[in-house]
Amino acid sequence: VTQLDRKTEILDAALALADERGLEAVTMRALAQRLGVTAMALYPHVGGKDGLLDGLVDRMLAELLPAAQAEGDAAKRLFAIGHAARALARRHPSAYALLLSRPSVTPDAVRVVDAMYSALLELGVPDAEVPRVERLLSTFALGYATSEVNGRFSMGTLNPRGQRAQFGPDEVPAHRRLAEVLEEAPDWDAEYAADLEDLLLLIQQRWSRSS
């Protein structure tokens, strides 16, 4: 079983390296050096760079699992998972994007999805719609956290004046009309919470309690 422990040791080191110096600094050689070993010593355990990155996805999903198994009613559990997904991104900003680009069927991944299925069923979503709604929610949560840690949101907002200056009058009329609103720096915690509430509201209104 020291095999498995060694693998998680390696993955932990890789994740720490990604957190500290970015995903592109996660090199077989740099990772090996951090572990006091040669790069080729890693291959039997993680199976090359691709296997290493898949392993990082698994490790992150394992970190998400406890939140998925929290207590409370269905809506509360979905909020907990949603906030945990965002907290995970803040903990591992550089590695997080892997979650959207590398499929994973780790047992822990299935368990997280199962927790969401259960909550949606409890909320009255019909069986046939549950997988779709789960994908809608998880896609939004992963996409939001990814966008946030990668800075996709902080540019329509950073200096809207200088930005509008590139355009002629009424070339971007909505930006002009929203000028004052766009001046304010958004509170991302509040925005994300509001988004989750809206999505839960959608679910409750669309399939109001029949069970």
* Residue 94 interacts with which of DNA, a copy of itself, none, CB < 5 to 8 Å by class: none
Residue 34, judged by CB atoms within 10 A of its CB (0-12, 13-18, 19+), counts as: middle
Least distance to a copy of itself from the beta carbon of 7, Å?
18
Q: Which of 12, 50, 171, 183 binds DNA (CB under 7 A)?
A: 50
According to the binding rule CB under 8 A, does residue 113 interact with a copy of itself? yes
According to the binding rule CB under 7 A, does residue 48 interact with DNA? yes
Structure tokens at 186: 């958004």
If one counts every other C-beta atom within 10 angstroms of the C-beta of residue 112, the result is 23
Least distance to a copy of itself from the beta carbon of 125, Å?
11
According to the binding rule CB under 8 A, does residue 146 interact with a copy of itself? yes
Footprint on residues 5-44 left by DNA (CB under 7 A): 6, 26-30, 32, 37-41, 43-44
* Residue 70 interacts with which of DNA, a copy of itself, none, CB < 5 to 8 Å by class: none
Encode the chain in three state secondary structure. Answer: CHHHHHHHHHHHHHHHHHHHHCHHHCCHHHHHHHCCCCHHHHHHHHCHHHHHHHHHHHHHHHHHHHHHCCCCCHHHHHHHHHHHHHHHHHHCCCCCCHHHHCCCCCHHHHHHHHHHHHHHHHCCCCHHHHHHHHHHHHHHHHHHHHHHHHCCCCCCCCCHHHHHCCCCCCCCHHHHHCHHHHHCCCCHHHHHHHHHHHHHHHHHHHCCCCC
CA distance 11 to 179: 46
Nearer to DNA by Cβ, of 45 and 164: the residue is 45
Least distance to DNA from the beta carbon of 19, Å?
17
Nearer to a copy of itself by Cβ, of 17 and 61: the residue is 61
Nearer to DNA by Cβ, of 32 and 60: the residue is 32
Footprint on residues 82-111 left by DNA (CB under 7 A): none
CA distance 13 to 107: 22
The site for DNA (CB under 7 A) is made up of: 2-3, 6, 26-30, 32, 37-41, 43-45, 48-50
The site for a copy of itself (CB under 8 A) is made up of: 97, 100-105, 107, 110-111, 113-115, 117-118, 121, 127-128, 130-132, 135-136, 139-140, 142-144, 146-147, 150-157, 163, 166-167, 171-175, 177-178, 180-182, 186, 191, 194-195, 198-199, 201-202, 205-206
